[in-house]
Amino acid sequence: MKLGIVGLPNVGKSTLFNSLTKARADAQNYPFCTIDPNIGVVAVPDDRLDKLAALYNSAKITPAVIEFVDIAGLVKGASKGEGLGNQFLANIREVDAIVHVVRCFEDTNVVHVDGSVDPKRDIETITFELIFADLEVLERRLARTKKTAAADKGAASEAAILSALKEHLESGKCVKAFEPSSDEEAEFIHSLNLLTDKPVIFAANVSEEDLADDGASNPYVREVRDYAAQDGSEVFVVSAKIEEEISELDDEEKQLFLEDLGVSESGLDKLIRASYTLLGLMSFLTAGEKETRAWTIARGTKAPQAAGKIHSDFERGFIKAEVVNYKDLLACGSTAAAREKGLVRMEGKDYVMQDGDVVVFRFNV
């Protein structure tokens, strides 16, 4: 899974990136300090892996990972060359979802690029810049397509979709609000990799005082949640400053620190949960002496396609999947004991994978 982080300058974007990835991107108190896109890879915390690895005495544990891409802060007019952020928008065209960091705290020591804290205005500023960036891509594609439309029915059909999409964007609406007329049209639109077609997770960046009640008493957070509800997006409340502090702690210290703050999970945990929910993802597990590993798949994925995540040969030569629920396996203490109790199932090509399935794929090529 790949997530792109966007936001205005000085909203805590790079500070959050630093804390999530421990990558130390520059995070000074002035706009445009992030001049190159920062990329960091983060392991998805999953305590099931440690327990399975102990059961199998695994030599290696491989968690699922998330790749974060942090770009320079966007400002109003970025699409016309203002600021630096627009130069790097291409770096987030390939992401699965966008994490939009929104400032929800007052601090006279941290300059706001527009002079005041206003989450709705800030969200709309970024959204319009993404729309303008998409329009630029569409206009170039449409110009090329129109050249062959007269002699090519396929190109003519593509040009009609592009024109409708362009008109939709020009009305100030995101691509994801566009209603395609068919599955084929929807597939074509998704293939364009437009920024406003991507799901959005809003990170409401608050002060330490607003963490305990998850931002419930913060009017700025309420604004973000109201906007997200209308937009069909996810929201998580985070204090980038606190995240940076706890990123330096080990797991035990981190848990004590969170308890002192009155919160049950870190910002990274919240973000992972929000992204898995928004993108409809889950994990199945494989375990053995060599390795215990988590594999991320979309909910509804059938066994052969899940096997293909490990290796294309597994999908091509799929015979069956030997499946046991993670909790059942741990309770029994071994695969053999689980099999004796009838908890290990042999599933075929139509089996829909479930979160926490521990699987051995049988295949022949």
* Alpha helices for the chain (secondary structure H): 13-21, 47-56, 119-149, 153-170, 183-191, 219-231, 240-246, 251-261, 267-279, 303-310, 312-316, 326-332, 335-340
Angstrom distance (rounded) from CA 363 to CA 310: 12
pLDDT tens digit at each of 365 positions of the chain = 899 999 988 888 888 888 888 755 555 554 444 445 688 888 888 999 999 999 999 999 999 988 888 877 676 765 555 544 455 677 788 899 999 999 999 888 776 777 788 999 999 999 998 999 899 899 999 998 888 877 777 888 899 999 999 999 999 999 999 999 999 999 999 999 999 999 999 999 999 899 989 999 999 999 999 999 998 999 999 999 898 888 888 888 988 998 998 888 888 889 988 999 999 999 999 999 999 999 999 999 999 999 999 999 999 999 999 999 999 999 999 999 999 999 999 999 999 999 999 999 999 98
User: What 8-state DSSP symbol labels residue 72?
Assistant: P
In angstroms, the Cα distances linking 54 to 75, 330, 333 are 50, 10, 10
Q: Considering just the CA atoms, what is the radius of gyration of the chain in Å?
A: 23
> Strand 292-298 and strand 200-205: pairing?
unpaired
- In this prediction the pTM is 0.85
